[in-house]
Amino acid sequence: MNLNARPPKMMSGPQRNTEQPDTGQNTILEIEENGTKQFTNKADDESGSTTCVESKDMEEKLNAMLSELSSEEVEGAALTSYVYWQEINKKDLDPSLLDSLRQSKALAMARRCLVGDKGDSDLAMIRLRGTLQWRKKMDIDGMRRCFYNQDAQHNDLRQGLEFSMSTGKQIVRGFDRKGRYVHLLVPRLKVDGDSVEGILAATVYTAERAIAATERRTEGNLEKFYVVFDYTGFEYKHSVSLAAAKAVVFALRDHYPERVQQIYLLDAPFVFQFFWNIIQPFIDPVTRGKIQFLSGDEKHVEFSNLFDLEQAIPCQLAGGKLSATYDCTKFMVDVPFDCAYDEYLS
């Protein structure tokens, strides 16, 4: 890869060689725990437990879910995959390959919803359909292309993201040893005057890029990304509004099941406790269980087991190599959607 190459201005964004795209066929497992079936994703299960077995019941539920979807809904579900989105925007489409890829990526979304709803297919269908409508409203596909073709149709979306991302508060930097990327947020770089809608759009845009990068690097075998908050230099004036915080929390909860690996709040000062006490009641138990407050030696203990120094940010690990300042405009315009900043620019 030529790390200095500027991605071409193509309608579908910077392209990659995906002649043999991954199928995204991760296996659903059910774990017997205290007599209760708990469903998980084999690709993201780190336990190595021999109690994990393939779930025929889960497979039947997934197939039943897909059979209920219209062709438009199946397409929308498949489009949650950036790999699939790239494929349908190619000029030399292979219809036979596309059919298989569409099915597997739609199945992957159904699986995430089903796992997120503990195997309840009725709730999973409600979540899936609600998420498809939400993604249209947010214009996720527009986010994927708006900085690469500069079309008039997406002027408002592009300008809104440019403003909400202008300080570098959010960016994708680094990945762990398994290929999961980091969505970095730096609260002290608050964008003054930003709206609830702008904050939500910037968060979704960056999260989608972390997901796409993870999908690319792991060839579809892993689906989760990290969220890392660097609270160095944080003051209460840097807090976002309660409405904005709730919008982000609810979006992650409702529309990104089985996507977040862990949420780290690093070096949070005492003043942050007040904001945390306000927002904590709105965080669902599953998400709350993924949140860790770390500082000092705790960071080294946690991150040294997950990240190499070459892919670590200094706020994670002392001596982390991803220490260069970054230009978020270059990140949006010059770096392919499924890459971290430092993979192309430094």
- Domain map (residue ranges) of the chain: 28-143, 158-344
Average of per-residue pLDDT values in the chain: 87
Distance of CA 326 to the CA centre of its chain: 20
Q: Does residue 6 have a pLDDT over 90?
A: no
Write out pLDDT tens, residues 145-175. Answer: 999 988 899 999 999 999 999 999 999 999 9
What is the model's pTM? 0.86
Write out pLDDT tens, residues 307-338. Answer: 999 999 999 999 999 998 899 999 999 999 99
Whose structure tokens read 């579809």?
220
CATH architecture of 158-344: 3-Layer(aba) Sandwich (3.40)
Mean pLDDT of 171-198: 98
Distance CA 333, CA 9 (A): 9
Distance CA 307, CA 26 (A): 24
Residue type, 129: R
Write out pLDDT tens, residues 249-282. Answer: 999 999 999 999 999 999 999 999 999 999 999 9
**How does strand 170-175 pair with strand 53-54?**
unpaired
Higher pLDDT, 50 or 308: 308
Write out pLDDT tens, residues 52-90. Answer: 334 788 899 999 999 999 999 999 999 999 999 999 998
Q: Does residue 33 have a pLDDT over 70?
A: no
**String of b and e for 177-216 (b: at least 16 CB within 10 Å)?**
ebbbbbbbbbbebbbeebebebbbbbbbbbbbbbbbbbbb
